[in-house]
Amino acid sequence: MNDFKQFLLRGNVVDLAVGVVIGAAFGTVVTALVKDFITPLVAAFAGKPDFSAIHFTVNNSVFGVGDFLNAVISFVLVALAVFFFVIKPINYLVARSRKEPPPDPTTMKCAECLSEIPVGAKRCAFCTSTVTAR
């Protein structure tokens, strides 16, 4: 029982549970947006008051094309919202946090005169002192 408690209280499980709940609520909001705003707006141009009323019948089987269109529009809106409000900001933050490693130094300071000399030099070009490799 103790192992099960540790499993449930791990950060990943709690984060996933919160994500699922927020995702479901977000999906409900987007579905309502599609049903109450987008569908009537598009239907105003198509001449139908609601997509859910669009259907056809084959051998007494009713195919609800309008419900499918509502679901497709809802999916596209959810995908766009996730992309622009989750994926893009996270990619931006990850790109900002990645720092290029500093380039290998090509020069060093002479111990005698503190002039900049190439790393592979054996003598300083300014004071002619012998330089030890670092």
Does residue 84 sit in the same domain as residue 117?
A: no
Verdict on whether the full-model pTM lies above 0.85: no
Domain of residue 12, residue span: 2-97
- pLDDT bucket at 116, cuts 50 / 70 / 90: very high
Does residue 22 sit in the same domain as residue 81?
A: yes
Does residue 81 sit in the same domain as residue 118?
A: no
CB burial of 7-43 (b: ≥16 within 10 Å; e: otherwise) equals eeeeeeeeeeeeeeeeeeeeeeebbebbbeebbeeeb
Q: Residue 66: what pLDDT?
A: 83
Does residue 81 sit in the same domain as residue 110?
A: no
pLDDT digits (tens, 9 = 90+) for 5-61: 777 667 677 778 878 888 888 878 877 877 787 767 776 776 665 677 778 889 988
